[in-house]
């Protein structure tokens, strides 16, 4: 595996010393927002991880190399390259590597590379899931399958609210993926703090979550854990307003024939446009919040 994998010296030293490390994805850099805001936000997220007692490991594929831990220059490179960087999920990794290309890692591919390096905790915005209308399209994010068998805990603000939350919840349950609510008994819906769906377990401290992760993996129970962390109240959006924006975006997506891996970026961009940028501001704040919690969980896990 070392033939393809580059772990930064800082991350490598932390792992060797049993110190906490938090994985971070790179799709948010290349596909989440424009330059230079994308790189600035990614560097802020790294600083929040440090401020909360862990080492950040932003993950990407650069010039055919699997990277766990990026330099400031590499983050800025991805930010400037923007949409020209391939959005990389599990199926894409070998082809990007073989051609020496660049890849911005999704939740699924970030989990894969984190697991290769031995990183157990990962902070992101929201996980992918079962898309609305999946009964006809079978459009289900690869994130869910990765969660079923890759031993990485994913701290997120729930599933993206553009998805079918009920079917996403059922899929996770079928595949034995625990859905943990951090200080909440209901599933957060990304931009909003709650939804109509419950979590499996409410845990109220990073220490409780870390203990559950240790028990799960020590017993050989494979697979990830979703830790749903509600967006801070000050930045949460009105549920009726965001639902209206999502429904309008879904209608436009269908009219334009957008599908597959293009669906999520199209919908998120359209919702941001409809809400006058409010959804993007909320997105940034929930990522900050998840990074802080992930660092505290990682610190407890490695204590």
Catalytic residues: 25, 160
Number of Cβ within 10 Å of residue 166's Cβ equals 14
For residues 11 and 1, what is the distance between their CA atoms, to the nearest angstrom? 17
Which residues lie across from 104 on neighbouring strands? 60, 87
Residues 281/287/293/296 CA torsion (nearest 10 deg): -120
- CA-wise closest residue to 280 among 48, 24, 37: 37
Strands 21-24 and 5-7 come out as: unpaired
For residues 295 and 118, what is the distance between their CA atoms, to the nearest angstrom? 16
Number of Cβ within 10 Å of residue 152's Cβ equals 23
Give the list of residues 6+ apart from residue 187 with CB closer than 8 angstroms, or none. Answer: 158, 159, 165, 169, 179, 181, 194, 195, 197, 198, 199, 228
E-strand stretches of the chain: 5-7, 21-24, 55-62, 65-68, 86-88, 103-105, 121-123, 153-156, 179-182, 201-203, 225-228
Could you give phi then psi for residue 131, rounded to 5 degrees? Answer: -75, 155
Q: 102 near 85, Cβ under 8 Å?
A: yes
SS3 35: coil
Number of Cβ within 10 Å of residue 301's Cβ equals 21
Q: 122 near 294, Cβ under 8 Å?
A: yes
């Amino acid at each position: 595996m070392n033939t393809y994998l580059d772990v930064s010296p800082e991350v490598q030293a932390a792992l060797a010393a049993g110190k906490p490390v938090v994985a971070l994805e790179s799709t948010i850099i290349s596909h989440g927002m424009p330059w230079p805001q994308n790189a600035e936000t990614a560097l802020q997220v790294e600083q929040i991880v440090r401020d909360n007692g862990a080492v950040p490991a932003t993950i990407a594929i650069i010039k055919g190399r699997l990277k766990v831990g990026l330099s400031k220059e590499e983050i800025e490179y991805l930010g400037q390259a923007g949409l020209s960087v391939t959005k990389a999920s599990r199926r894409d990794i070998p082809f990007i590597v073989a051609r020496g290309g660049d890849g911005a890692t999704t939740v699924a591919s970030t989990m894969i590379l984190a697991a290769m390096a031995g990183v157990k905790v990962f902070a992101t915005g929201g996980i992918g899931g079962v898309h609305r209308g999946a009964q006809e399209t079978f459009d289900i994010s690869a994130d869910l399958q990765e969660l079923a068998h890759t031993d990485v805990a994913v701290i997120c603000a729930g599933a993206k609210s553009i998805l079918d939350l009920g079917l996403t919840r059922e899929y996770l349950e079928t595949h034995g993926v625990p859905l943990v609510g951090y200080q909440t008994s209901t599933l957060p819906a990304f931009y909003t703090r709650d939804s109509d769906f419950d979590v499996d377990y409410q845990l109220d401290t990073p220490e409780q979550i870390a203990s559950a992760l240790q028990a799960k993996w020590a017993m050989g129970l494979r697979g990830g854990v979703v830790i749903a962390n509600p967006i801070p109240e000050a930045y949460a959006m009105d549920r009726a307003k965001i639902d209206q924006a999502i429904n309008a975006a879904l209608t436009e997506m269908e009219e334009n024939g957008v599908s597959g891996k293009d669906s999520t970026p199209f919908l998120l961009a359209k919702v941001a446009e409809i809400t006058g940028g409010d959804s993007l501001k909320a997105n940034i704040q929930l990522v900050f919040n998840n990074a802080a919690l992930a660092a505290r969980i990682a610190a407890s896990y490695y204590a």
